Amino acid sequence: MALYDLKTLLSENSYPGRGIVIGKSADGKSAMIAYFIMGRSENSRNRIFERFEDGMRTKAFDESKLSDPSLIIYNPYLKLGDTDIITNGDQTNTIFDYLKEGKTFEDALYTREFEPDPPNFTPRISGALYYGFGKNMFTYKLSILKSANGRSDACNRYFYNYVPENGIGHFIHTYKCDGNPIPSFYGEPEEVAMPNTAEELADLCWNNLNNDNKVSLFVRQVPLDGSEPTEIIINKNK
């Protein structure tokens, strides 16, 4: 049984920031991914998710209001063969490039650190799923790169490797809660219960994220038998 209820974690936290959930469906037939973004400033809230071949990008909803694209315009999701990469920043491309060269998730992230946005020094959170469709299996990893006690010159890097369990997922987010400066996530990724379908996971996340601060949500369900994945994108800006 999962340690935490995702509905409770989301509904009781007005600002977890950006978040990644990865796990296995309750029926054991699919890998499940969710990624959401939130925002407090006009610049952060002025975004949508947009799918493209083998990936998904953030994009300004109203280009005329885009004041600073750094840190907010990037590819949260990229597909490389039988690997899915999901992150909260342009480290998605770093991981993609390193894996393509035969290097590792960890190798890629040792070249990166937290975001240069003092005083928050927002953590970089990343995930990767490795599929073995011929064997109806997958494994996944999560990582967080965060400032050491708010220092600008010291980055702590944490890596987590998981053997999937039916109905279990792991949730990591950039911020522990709202604040000024905003406190970074701490502790291990939170073990949460997973539903069976992309629709259920999307409803669970979107309906419990803070209505003022939520911006966009991406959900991907990948059947382990190799059949067609299901994806859902929800944008608050329409």
Query: Which tens digit of pLDDT belongs to each residue from 158-189?
Result: 999 999 999 999 999 999 999 999 999 999 99
pLDDT tens-place string over residues 37-91: 999 999 999 999 999 999 999 999 999 999 889 999 999 999 999 999 999 999 9
Total length of the chain? 238
221 forms beta bridges with: 32, 230
Selection from 197, 192, 208, 204 nearest residue 231 by Cα: 197
One-letter amino acid at 78 equals L
Nearest 5°: the CA angle 194, 204, 70 is 100
> Domains in the chain, ordered, with CATH?
6-235 (3.60.20.20)
Residue with tokens 């939130």: 38
What is the distance, to the nearest Å, from the Cα of residue 108 to the centroid of all Cα atoms in its chain?
17
| Helix, strand or coil, per DSSP, at residue 110 | coil
